[in-house]
Amino acid sequence: MNSHGAETVYKRADCILHDGPVNPSGYGLTKYEGRTRKAHVAAVLAGGRKIPKGWHVHHACGVKLCVNPEHLRILSPVEHSRTHAPEALPTLRHVRLAASMTLKELARLSGIHKAIISQIERGRMNATRTEIEAFDEALGCRFESRALLVNTEER
C-alpha cells in the first residue's frame, strides 16, 4: 500500500507519478493557484502552456497519475474524442473474458506486460494505440478496443 491506499501504479518509462490525493476516477488532485485542479492539468499550466477554454489535457502515456509534461497533450474536445472512443464499447476485461482468455494468456499473446493489462482493466491506466492494436491482434477481433482509452475526466 502506498499513500494512495492502493498498490503502486505500474509506470511506463519516464512517467512521473503524482504523489498526493487521487480522485475516485484515478486522477491526481493538487492545489494550483489557490484552487484544486487535476494534477496533470496543473502540470501543464505550471509549465507555462495555456489550455484554451474547453480544451482537454490528454495523457499520451495512458498513465492517469503521470504528471510528466512531455506526456501531456492539449487537445480540442473533438481531437480528444477521436483519440478516445464512445463509452458504450466493451472494456478489455469484458472482451478477454468473453474470449475465455486469462490475463496471463493475453499478456503472452499480445506481448503487453500483464501488470499493464491489469491496470488497464481496473481503469488505472488508459491503453495506448499500440497496445490496442496488440490486444485486437491477440483477441482475434476488432472490437474497437479504443474504448479502452475512454475516460471522461482526463481534462
Q: Which is nearer to Zn ion, 110 or 128 (CB)?
A: 128
Q: Binding string, 41-70, against Zn ion, x = CB under 5 A?
A: -----------------x--x-x--x-x--
DSSP state of 63: B
Binder among 15, 17, 44, 112 for Zn ion (CB under 5 A): 15
Q: Is 82 within 8 Å of 75 (Cβ atoms)? A: no
Q: Which residues pair with 77 in a beta bridge?
A: none
Rounded least distance, CB 150 to Zn ion, Å = 9
C-alpha cell at 88: 458504450
Q: Does 18 bind Zn ion (CB under 5 A)?
A: no
Q: Which is nearer to Zn ion, 15 or 39 (CB)?
A: 15
Backbone angle region of 54, left / alpha / beta, with phi > 0 → left and psi within -120 to 50 → alpha: left
Binder among 4, 18, 71, 124 for Zn ion (CB under 5 A): 71
The size of the chain, in residues, is 155
